[in-house]
Chain A
């Protein structure tokens, strides 16, 4: 992988929701990971596994009944302790560019793409003067491969692909070193999925960022095919915990993942066995003491009543070892 220092460094991040009646929901527990410049980390898992909550925590967008603990360092800033003013002025847009789940809904419907881009350029960059802002906006559009001929369109006039590019152009304006893409491919046709992730990858690889490095990309997705196409590393989340964090090529190729849940997820793909992981994920408000995957796991044993810790790349008492796989 890369030896560059991480852009984002997450240590022991946990998020709890306090519910009426004193119930506590453990949405994210003890997450550790880094994302470096020029690298894409895909955070994958079923809906409700906590991955979107993790993204909200990084952006300071958790609801009022949530409590976050741990550390999420972006440069010298800890995102979890930063106040709203800092998050609004320095983080969102400037340090983290958000690529949203449904770009059409993210764009303001009554304004043209040009006017939204110009407003963002004026707010996030030092550009002053109408002509200069106009030029900078067109440059921003081009960077995201948004055709300048469509700049005067309203969001509803755009195809899904163009809306996605418009949203990406907006996310890139502030020159943020970290891009955060939250389910950017949901509901898109496969061609458009490929196209979207290829473009995101281009922004990770290109050195158009100020200090000559590519951007870091954290992509949150349940789309394993999209993750395979774009990611350098993969983190698998189950019931609020990262249970495996590994190189994408190892994960999707041979020998494949080591955690039984990761293996089950891959085997569910129609390209593979098309068999579901039996059962359903547990309730985050009522997690067992031991491994949360145990009720669904064919490898579960007595040992699994104790919580498995992350050792190396996997949190499991009986991970698959490459020997198993050759047999």
Chain B
């Protein structure tokens, strides 16, 4: 279970971009978080992925409160998350070949053997052909680079995926291909998903339920109702789908 409770976060304590936001993702569940650009939903996604320490509020990971963020977070918690951002060019080191980009988390966690095979496997799962793996970011398209970023996010077999506007810059076919790759991974791993975006049609099609930003930050957010321990994957949550209109 991934639970955000009354999270307030931002970059200046006097002017937080997120105020009192609460939401829950059950294991295996996919939740779409819909909001206009600039509303603060990306900041909330970063809090959920342990990348940004909130000013106040609680993040519970399987019932355990998270106490530290970023590199201070315990490795087991950090590696439970795979994150994909909107702009692959900003989140990929331009000097790395795609193969090294995908292998980054494997090397960072001290893995020695079998890296090459694992990278091949990951590349195939996101539809990257072997000839592209030797290229550097400027030698591939945005769509190809985003595929590599998704492969990198899947490298440590995360239990939670956070996709922040993952497809906002991409064409329809690449969007459908990336979403399919995420869903294939979730089908075999049982990972939960928080997909943040501004396209309701896409989120409704992709996720078990879509929640609206104003319902996440509003007073009516169901923060207290205990969710049943979800065991299987894709188990629907009891939280009413606020996005259904």
Contact = CB atoms under 8 A, between A and B. Distances in A.
Contacts of B169: 47, 186-187
B172 A269 contact: yes
Contacts of B173: 46, 264-265, 268, 276-277
Nearest to A283: B131
A46 B200 contact: no
Nearest to B143: A47
A265 B127 CA distance: 17
Q: Give chain B's interface secondary structure class.
A: helix
Contacts of B171: 45-47, 222, 265, 268
B202 A47 contact: no
B176 A268 contact: yes
Contacts of B66: none
B129 interface: yes
Interface in B136-159: 141-144
Interface residues of B, number: 29
B37 interface: yes
Nearest to A273: B176
B172 A265 contact: yes
Contacts of A268: 171-173, 175-176
A187 B200 contact: no
A239 B37 CA distance: 32
A274 B198 contact: no
Interface string B210-227: 000000000000000000
B141 A224 contact: no
A46 B177 CA distance: 13
A271 B142 CA distance: 23
B84 to A, nearest CB: 16
Contacts of A274: 176, 179, 205
Contact of B37 (A160, A271, A277): A160
Interface string B52-71: 00000000000000000000
Contact of B172 (A160, A189, A224, A280): A224
Nearest to B140: A48
Contacts of A189: 36-37, 198
B242 interface: no
Contact of B170 (A45, A47, A160, A277): A47
A279 interface: yes
A190 interface: yes
Interface residues on A, range: 20 to 34
A312 interface: no
Contacts of A305: none
B37 A46 contact: no
A125 interface: no
A212 B204 CA distance: 45
Interface string A260-274: 000011101111001
Nearest to B177: A276
Interface in A263-300: 264-266, 268-271, 274-277, 279-281
B199 interface: yes
Contacts of B143: 46-48, 280
B170 to A, nearest CB: 7
Interface centre among A190, A269, A270, A277 (most CB of B within 10 A): A270
B90 interface: no
B142 A190 contact: no
A46 B174 contact: yes
7 contacts: A48-B141, A48-B143, A187-B169, A222-B172, A268-B172, A270-B206, A276-B175
Interface of A: 45-48, 160, 186-191, 222, 224, 264-266, 268-271, 274-277, 279-281
Interface of B: 36-38, 127, 129, 141-144, 168-177, 179-180, 198-202, 204-206
Given A47-B174, A224-B172, 18 more contacts: A46-B173, A47-B142, A47-B169, A47-B170, A47-B171, A48-B141, A188-B37, A190-B199, A265-B172, A266-B172, A268-B173, A270-B176, A270-B206, A276-B174, A276-B177, A279-B127, A280-B144, A281-B141
